[in-house]
Amino acid sequence: MLFFPIPIYDFVTVTSSILTKQPANQPTTVRTTLANGLTVIAVENPVADIVACRIFIRAGQLSEMPATANLFDLLAAVLTKGTVTKNALEIADIVESMGASFGADASADYSIVSLKAVSADFEALLALASEVIQEPSFPVSEIDLERRLLLQGLKSIKEQPFSVAYNHLREAIYQGHPYGLPHTQAEICLNKFTQADLQTAHHRYFRPDNMVITVVGRISPTLAIKLIEQYFGDWQLDHSASPRSLFPISFPPVRVASRKIVTVQETNQAFIVLGHLAGSVTDPDYAALKLISTYLGSGLSSRLFVELREKQGLAYDVSAFYPTRLGTSQFIAYIGTAPENLQVALAGLQREIDRLKTNPLSAAELQVAKNKILGQYALGKQTNGQIAQTYGWYEILGLGMAFDEAFPQAIAAVTCEDIQAAAQRCFIEQSISILGPAAVVEPFKS
């Protein structure tokens, strides 16, 4: 995700809440923590008669181990398919009768339940979400169905050449780390998970002091917090397990080392994926690396697109990305090219990465990258759902809403010298994943 500067607000403590004093044209924001530890962020944004809510749980891929790979994907898929009083069809009927949206998903660092409804139906939808989150039944028939769908999804990934090349790289650079759990391991685990496994994970991680709820829309913060207190406030903590025991999961530290993976696949394109381990969201180089990824790979004017596709005609697809992660992240640059151009495409991609360590960006190049980040964030934070996602995401990562101001300020402060220094620190040990026809990739095995 990307970020856009907003005014610096004064924060005033109101009982247990933080009330953001907004300019007249800005929505009112309140952050509070309930007695049971649940964090609530409420934003009044009356532009549209819609209320969006995101319920974040600090449990995702980072909470998994080899024996539990893809556990939270399965849990999220089944979570909304039954409670102690309602089956999947009854839940779907309630949601559809409102014309609302309701679903759950899992990601690298968290799981999330998303809901959206018109203002008049929000309370009823929130009541349903409360029941789903606190009293899921995990029906065996739904587990079997979602298990098959997830396995089919993993199978389809094997038919996508870029995904294959990227996943091989991810598994190599994250050996022993939850971010690198291989899909083959996920398949093994998915075939073994039982209802009891989902119940155990739910009992361990789905607890109010491990959650953040954001509500954004045509609803006052006072009413939003009152409703969450009504439907979640009496959720009692399980004191048999301390929140401190939830994280971190014990796993070996990620080791920086160069690796090369060559995959033979008779495809029309050859794919090259270059990877470097990179800092987490709290790393001092985070803002600079975000700018580097934007400069290299964001849009038709990006360096990689212009140099390797437009000028040299080497790329069908070329880009770079640097995901925001609570743990050690990765900086990825990739290119899809004609098999006969594999060698020159690899050299070109490596050259563009290496030049950042020796050739500082010009002030104009840096400003363009900054403008892209700020502009993309402005476009990505227009809806109530996008605002709810952003604020909740910051909170669940431990950054807090203040990050919405701190990051743009950090972006503005990055200099050309900072970019070069970050490149020199990050782009050292490079791992390479190459996929394509045997005739062109076999020589790279040596």
Summarised one tens digit per residue, pLDDT across range 178-215 is 999 999 999 999 999 999 999 999 999 999 999 999 99
Contact, 393 vs 56, CB < 8 A?
yes
Containing 251, the helix (H) or strand (E) segment is none
pTM across the whole model: 0.90
The ranges assigned to domains in the chain are: 10-238, 260-445
**Separation between Cα atoms, residue 129 and residue 80, nearest integer Å:** 8
Residue type at position 169: L
Do the domains 260-445 and 10-238 match in fold?
yes
**Separation between Cα atoms, residue 144 and residue 115, nearest integer Å:** 25
Is 10-238 assigned to CATH 3.30.830.10? Answer: yes
Q: How confident is the model at residue 237 (pLDDT cuts 50, 70, 90)?
A: confident
The residue assigned the tokens 């007695």 is: 35
Q: Say what the pLDDT of residue 254 is.
A: 82
Containing 359, the helix (H) or strand (E) segment is none
Q: Say what the pLDDT of residue 26 is.
A: 58
Q: Say what the pLDDT of residue 232 is.
A: 97
The SS3 assignment for 364 reads helix
pLDDT for 67-124, tens place per residue? 999 999 999 999 999 999 999 999 999 999 999 999 999 999 999 999 999 999 999 9
The residue assigned the tokens 């910051």 is: 394
Fold of domain 260-445: Cytochrome Bc1 Complex; Chain A, domain 1 (3.30.830)
Least Cα distance to 433 among 321, 354, 333, 357 occurs for 333
**Separation between Cα atoms, residue 324 and residue 326, nearest integer Å:** 7
Containing 47, the helix (H) or strand (E) segment is none
Q: How confident is the model at residue 239 (pLDDT cuts 50, 70, 90)?
A: low
Q: Say what the pLDDT of residue 241 is.
A: 56
Q: Say what the pLDDT of residue 379 is.
A: 82
Examine the pLDDT at 22 and tell me if it is beyond 60: no
The conformation of residue 82, written as its DSSP 8-state character, comes to B
Examine the pLDDT at 133 and tell me if it is beyond 70: yes
pLDDT for 352-392, tens place per residue? 999 999 999 999 999 999 999 988 887 888 899 999 999 99
